[in-house]
Structure 1
Amino acid sequence: MIRIDCSSWLVNGEWASTIRRSVFIEEQGIAESEEWDKHDSNSTHVVAWFDDQAVGTARLLPEGKIGRMAVLPEFRSRGIGSAMLLALLAVAREQKMQVVRLSAQQQAIEFYSRHGFVPQGDAHSEVGIPHQWMALNLTT
């Protein structure tokens, strides 16, 4: 069974950082210096649990940017990413955000499109990986 917890970095940071290290630093080869930033301390963080194991994480910045979405490889394609995204969108709505945006890795564009996100602008590169800005209007 999947359980989603939304909280601060103080509460969820230990589990979120373990997942992000595994997915972004070890699996995708992103430099550690690129992974950690000042936004963790003031963002809402979700952690997805499968039974008693933390298997996914993502964050919502106060200005409405979703990022750092990661699911451990052996737990992908089980709806965990969707559950985390829907939880963050619920938080954004509670905070009366009108638009949320994200910078999707190229292979995740279809996933975000299925949730109503629309590409904006041209593709760009972040940490050497192709990305696309996408946005979702929460007022319609």
Structure 2
Amino acid sequence: MRYGTTTCGGIPNFKSFECYDVPTIHHELTHSVDRKFLSPNKNSLSDPDPEWEKLNAPEFQYYGKDNFLQLPNVWHPLPGIMLAYGASLLGEDRAVFGALIMGWPATYNLLVQACQTDPFVAAKVRLTVSRWKQFWPFPGAENTEWKIRMAQTDHDCC
């Protein structure tokens, strides 16, 4: 497998945030979903999440807030990691996946491509979709963007 050679808008090896600007709200929303499931009274960015951690590639450890910049600033720099920032902390990794699932079609398509070649990415997407379905279970809301995107992601990645 090769990582970090994806293009965005025809730009090869683009900087990650060139196609990641608007999904910030979805990134932050993912932190809120995490707090509901994982640590309602604490900061969920670095709290343990054994279910998520077992989905990382063998021997992978998060780099920390200061050291993740060692990674190339490209899409999918490592198995199971979609952005270098996601390699910083467990909570940031989850939030990157949430932003890509709910974000622009271009970034969503990059995620789907990674799902098809990287089993670690596919497993993280499945867990994210499962948790988000629990977070938004409301009957009668099938035509909301949330439910539509979860169904589409289930179809495309899971």
Structure with the greater alpha carbon radius of gyration: 2
Higher relative contact order (CA 8 A, sep 6+): 2
TM range (shorter): 0.3 to 0.5
* TM-score normalised to structure 2 length: 0.33
* TM-score normalised to structure 1 length: 0.36
Question: Which has the larger helix fraction?
Answer: 2
